[in-house]
Structure formats: C-alpha cells, structure tokens
Amino acid sequence: MDLSDLRRDYADRGLHRDELAGDPLQQFARWFDQAREHGVHEPNAMSLATVDTDGRPLQRTVLLKYFGAEGFVFFTNYASRKAAHIAANPAVCLLFPWLTLERQVIIQGRAEKITAGESLKYFASRPRESQLGAWVSEQSSVISSRQLLKQKLAEIRRKFSDGEVPLPSFWGGYRVVPESIEFWQGGPARLHDRFLYTRGSDGSDGSDGSDGSDGGGEGWRIERLSP
C-alpha cells in the first residue's frame, strides 16, 4: 500500500516565543485546557515509551491522571511489563498527540513511584468497578481466555461485597519528572514551530540568548528547533 500521497497541509496557527510561558508545566496546562475546550477526544491519553533490559523500546497508551510542578502521574499494575522496564531503566518518554489542533507534546524524563498514600487517595476516587478490575488483572501475563477474567471478577466481587475495596499492594502510580518538554505546532509548507524546554544543568536558565535560545525561568532553557 503506497501512502506517499496521503498528506495534508497544516493551518497557519503558528507558535511564537513571546506566547510561551517561562515554565513548561504552565505551558502544558494552557495547551491541555485548549485541547479540552476544542473537544479533543481523551486529551489525557498519552503514549508511554519504555525500554527493556535489552534496549528494545515498547510503547503503549496510558491515561494521565494529574500533573503539577513535580511532574505527570499515571497508574498501573506494578507487576506489569511497563513497570519491569521502569525498574530496570526509569528513563521514559511521553507523547500527547493532539492531532485535531495540529499539536503534539513530547516529554522526556524519569519515572518514579509515588507514595502509597498518594496512590490510595486516587484509588479511593475510582468507580467501584475500576477498583475491582485492578484486583482481577495480572497485567501483561498470558491468559487462556476472557472467561477466566470474568470468573476472577465474580470472585473479587464476592470477596469485597460487604465493604470498601482496598488498595492492592501491587497497584499504584508513577510520576514522570520531566527533564525536557517539546511543544510542536504544525505549520504550512512543513514549516512547523517547535520549542524545546530543557532544565539548566546548574539550575540557571542556561543561556545568554546569543545562540537563538533564552532562559525560560525556574531553571528552564527554551530553544527553537528546526522543523
């Protein structure tokens, strides 16, 4: 199948340096709010890339549950394949593909487990069926049939029928602490706008502006990248 002619030109929305927040988390919050306002389907869906012990990459889609100055948080089974990868190499990459806005955000950083208390707080806010589901699935393990999952779900329902569903010891959250964040805005004639925030190695902005980059505040350096 030849897809070489499958292309479209992007609108001239543009992204200018003076429009950017000095802190990339603030800039991400702006774009995330705009994605929600424009009806982007599941704007918190993000691709998570990890590597195994042999250096082979693997991607999957997970849901961002909250974010703040410390980083981006998602939840999973701690016995899953992604968790095994993170245990061996915590360097990860996140991708938010907001295609209807002709935007994407790429985040590189390190994943670390959040506290049990933080995981419990989120777990308690989940619908009961989602809580039960966390107990049922041995994520990434091979199973013989879907019927087995349904049987296990019925067993878990009976087990916790008289009270609250407790937090499984094997389930919780990870926070991706960003080291760089790139904001990409599609443009006409493939002249896209790309701005990369990176942390200054000494906590400073890392630039005097002479090389086409400048300080973004809070120890972040901002550079425009060629498309």
Catalytic residue among 8, 81, 190, 199: 190
Q: Of 201 and 84, which is predicted with more confidence?
A: 84
Q: What are the pLDDT digits (tens) for 173-205?
A: 999 999 999 999 999 988 999 999 999 754 444
Alpha-carbon distance of 10 to 125, in angstroms, equals 40
pLDDT of res. 144: 81
What integer is the mean pLDDT of 153-164?
93
Q: What percent of the chain has pLDDT over 90?
A: 77
Burial-class residue 195 by CB neighbours within 10 Å (0-12, 13-18, 19+): buried
| Catalytic residue list contains 17 | no
Per-residue pLDDT, 202: 45
Residue 58, token pair as written in the block:
């693997």
Instruction: Give me the pLDDT at residue 213, please.
Output: 62
- Cα 110 to Cα 92: distance, rounded to the nearest angstrom: 6
Given this model, what pLDDT does residue 206 score?
A: 39
Instruction: Delimit the domains of the chain by residue range.
Output: 17-225
Fold for 17-225, please state it.
Pnp Oxidase; Chain A (2.30.110)
For residues 30-53, one letter each, b for 16 or more C-beta atoms within 10 angstroms of the residue's C-beta and e for the rest, the string is ebbeebeeeebeebbebebbbbee
Q: How many other C-beta atoms lie within 10 A of the C-beta of residue 175?
A: 21
Distance, CA of 183 to chain centre: 14
pLDDT tens digits along 90-106: 999 999 999 999 999 99
Rounded to the nearest integer, the mean pLDDT of the chain is 91
Specify the range with the lowest mean pLDDT, choosing from 124-138, 150-164, 176-190, 203-217.
Answer: 203-217
In which region does residue 118 sit, left (phi positive, over 0), alpha (psi from -120 to 50) or beta (all else)? alpha
pLDDT at 217: 60
- At 97, which amino acid appears? P
- Helices 128-136 + 146-159 axis angle, to 10: 120
pLDDT at position 43 is: 98
